[in-house]
A and B are shown apart, each in its own frame.
Chain A
Amino acid sequence: MWRDFRSSSTAMGGLAITLLVLAAVTVGAELMSYSPTGMSFTTVLRPPSWAHLFGTDSYGRDVFTRVLYGARVSLLISGCGVGLALMLGSLIGMTAAYFGRLYDLLVMRLMDLLFAFPAFVLALFLMVIIGFGVVNVTIAIALVYVPIFARLAHSMTLAVREEAYVQAARAMGQPPLRLLAREILPNIAAPLMVQASIGVAFGVIIEAGLSFLGLGVQPPTPSLGTIMADGQEYFRRAPWVLTMSGLAVCFALLGLNLLGDGLRDLVDPRLRKRAT
């Protein structure tokens, strides 16, 4: 399987970019000579140069360093949110499909209802209810993604439920939860991971959007959204802050999306072959 992965240029490209980004935000950030919060009124609003790759903002802070730290926060938020949604959603979807009947009906209807709201609107609504901040944004992203994972896990579990090895395990008396974990989960994991990869990317966009509006991560914590919000204030005078930080977001998310696409190409034909 690794060989298939290697031959897919999208997957490899995506992986390369993602790893690069991860390295940059973890190790690279620490290596930067600037501090993300260190203000300096002598270097306010400088355009990009070799000293400041992305220029400086209105407080004289190096934008590139801030972007690295901000990306760390954004990726953490999105990663945790999607991870939470993955666990919860898969559990909901799998159990609903396996146990069926009223539980299935009610739960999946609830998921459908959640899914009916536009993603960003749902997140925004939640922020109004529970307030702003890093943790709450994570919860909002999780809420947006739970129905997606639930529906995916549900439909796949339905397909797999009738397979021979599942019937055999059931006949042997394996308790349901263990059956779900041991037999079903490994076989539906792949598309879930694909969705997760793409989900983290979109989660960053949601976080960026919320923070950009001022309804997400609150300053002084840097996040990709708050940096772009800063950049928006003086966009006409110094467009580079917003532009460059946005480009950084594009680059990071491109890696994640390419990785997800590459994985999906790997997983899909397999699924089709399995179905026949």
Chain B
Amino acid sequence: MKTIQFILARSLGALATILVGALAVFLVMQAAPGDPALAVLGEHATPEAVAAFRAEHHLDAPLAARFLVWLKGFATGDLGRALTIAGGASISQLIANRLPNTTFIGLYAIFFSVGLSLLIGSLAAVSRGKLADTAVTSIAALGVSMPDFWLGYVLIFFFALNLAWLPSYGFTGPFESLQGALLTGLLPALAISAPMTAVFSRTLRTTLLESTQRDYVTVARSFGFSQPFVFRHYVFRNSIIPYIVVVGLQIRYLLGGVVIVERVFGVPGIGSLMVDAAFARDYPVVQACTVVFLAIVMTVNLTVDIVCAVLDPKRTR
């Protein structure tokens, strides 16, 4: 079936992009100024210590070999050890521990963004006219004007410190306790999702209003189809596709917010790992985290593409 062909083709494309991206990250990292050995051992390290360090971390092997070894590491789960942070723990272990947390928060945030915006956007589409337009535009503009970490603190201030409904710091992983994860992850997810909710709501409203102007609505009404039927099968069903396309485009901004919000709320995820590593100049960890983030974005984009293809017959037939 053509749909399966499409999915396969897109998946391969995503994989290719991840590989090329990993290569780019690797090459750029090699070009970074400074010797990682000196960064770790300090400026006054002895030449022997530096040589030993370099040997231990295979820093003198040829470039291509190092890249392939590294790449293989993603598959086998051995990415080497962190240079400085976490006491030199295995990088893949660090990532494996933290990935579920980041994924959970990310999905939670997407759930809020999409869910709330579907509701708000549909309701907002009912009211037309200049006042409604200005209001919706302003709220959307306000949404993207807010730094998401700032919103995180505001939420902490109200819900955690004042009302003490939710904890202000720390995160229970989803595998430990789903309920705990939902509770501790609520504020971080809200903080990340808020800007995007505003934008998505406005997008949905716009596409809904556009769809109602289309000819097929008039024709459907002329057949005698009821208003609710026309809204569901004609207006909403056709609006959802451009809406999802916009969601896909904006995801990369949403995921960027994960990094800081993890720090603010003390969520042990890939984002906070990357920040810690950045401070400590722990290049291998930063490298690995960047590629992981790339993979997450590509996965989300692939999912969006597939959903769009399934919903829109023009793409696959």
B259 to chain A minimum Cβ distance, whole angstroms, is 6
In the bound assembly, the distance between CA atoms of A112 and B317 in angstroms comes to 26
Against B, the Cβ 8 Å flags (1 = close, 0 = not) of A78-119 are 000000000000000000000000000000000011011111
Against A, the Cβ 8 Å flags (1 = close, 0 = not) of B261-275 are 001100000000011
B286 to chain A minimum Cβ distance, whole angstroms, is 5
Report if B170 contacts A (CB, 8 A). no
Report if B164 contacts A (CB, 8 A). no
B129 to chain A minimum Cβ distance, whole angstroms, is 13
- Given A127-B278, A246-B147, A261-B137, A120 and B297 touching (CB < 8 A)? no
Neighbour of B279 across the interface among A209, A214, A236, CB < 8 A: A214
Of chain B, the residue at the smallest CB distance from A129 is: B32
Neighbour of B150 across the interface among A9, A213, A246, CB < 8 A: A246
Neighbour of A250 across the interface among B29, B145, B275, CB < 8 A: B145
- Given A209-B149, A243-B157, A257 and B144 touching (CB < 8 A)? yes
* B142: chain A residues within 8 A (beta carbon): 250, 254
Cβ contact within 8 Å between A215 and B149? no
Report if A125 contacts B (CB, 8 A). yes
- Given A116-B21, A128-B281, A228-B150, A121 and B274 touching (CB < 8 A)? yes
Name, among B29, B257, B274, B293, the residue most crowded by chain A CB atoms within 10 Å (CB to CB). Answer: B293
Cβ contact within 8 Å between B29 and A129? yes
Q: How many chain B residues have a CB neighbour from A under 8 Å?
A: 52
* B286: chain A residues within 8 A (beta carbon): 125, 128
Cβ contact within 8 Å between B141 and A215? no
In the bound assembly, the distance between CA atoms of A113 and B150 in angstroms comes to 30
Against B, the Cβ 8 Å flags (1 = close, 0 = not) of A202-227 are 10010011001111000000000000
For chain B, residues 123 to 150, give those with C-beta under 8 angstroms from any C-beta of chain A.
Answer: 130, 134, 137-138, 140-142, 144-147, 149-150
In the bound assembly, the distance between CA atoms of A255 and B278 in angstroms comes to 33
Cβ contact within 8 Å between B283 and A128? yes
* B289: chain A residues within 8 A (beta carbon): 121
Describe A's contact surface by its main secondary structure: helix
Cβ contact within 8 Å between B255 and A118? yes
Cβ contact within 8 Å between B153 and A201? no
Report if A68 contacts B (CB, 8 A). no
Report if B69 contacts A (CB, 8 A). no
Cβ contact within 8 Å between B137 and A119? no
Cβ contact within 8 Å between A254 and B145? yes
Cβ contact within 8 Å between A10 and B134? yes
* B145: chain A residues within 8 A (beta carbon): 201, 249-254, 256-257
Cβ contact within 8 Å between B17 and A113? yes
In the bound assembly, the distance between CA atoms of A125 and B288 in angstroms comes to 11
Report if B298 contacts A (CB, 8 A). yes
Against A, the Cβ 8 Å flags (1 = close, 0 = not) of B142-167 are 10111101100110110001000000
B276 to chain A minimum Cβ distance, whole angstroms, is 10
In the bound assembly, the distance between CA atoms of A198 and B140 in angstroms comes to 12
Of chain A, the residue at the smallest CB distance from B286 is: A128
Report if A63 contacts B (CB, 8 A). no
Report if A139 contacts B (CB, 8 A). no
Cβ contact within 8 Å between B144 and A202? yes
* A38: chain B residues within 8 A (beta carbon): none
Of chain B, the residue at the smallest CB distance from A247 is: B150
In the bound assembly, the distance between CA atoms of A268 and B142 in angstroms comes to 21
In the bound assembly, the distance between CA atoms of A128 and B33 in angstroms comes to 10
In the bound assembly, the distance between CA atoms of A235 and B264 in angstroms comes to 11
Neighbour of B137 across the interface among A10, A113, A208, A239, CB < 8 A: A10
- Given A213-B275, A215-B275, A246-B154, A125 and B25 touching (CB < 8 A)? yes
* B252: chain A residues within 8 A (beta carbon): 115-119
Cβ contact within 8 Å between A120 and B283? no
**29 CB < 8 A contacts A-B:** A10-B134, A10-B138, A113-B17, A113-B20, A113-B21, A116-B17, A117-B252, A118-B255, A119-B252, A120-B260, A121-B255, A121-B289, A124-B278, A125-B25, A128-B283, A128-B286, A129-B33, A208-B150, A209-B147, A209-B149, A228-B147, A235-B153, A239-B153, A249-B145, A250-B146, A252-B145, A254-B142, A258-B138, A258-B141
- Going nearest first, the 9 A-B pairs with the smallest beta carbon separation are A120-B256, A246-B150, A253-B145, A257-B141, A118-B256, A254-B145, A129-B32, A118-B255, A121-B293
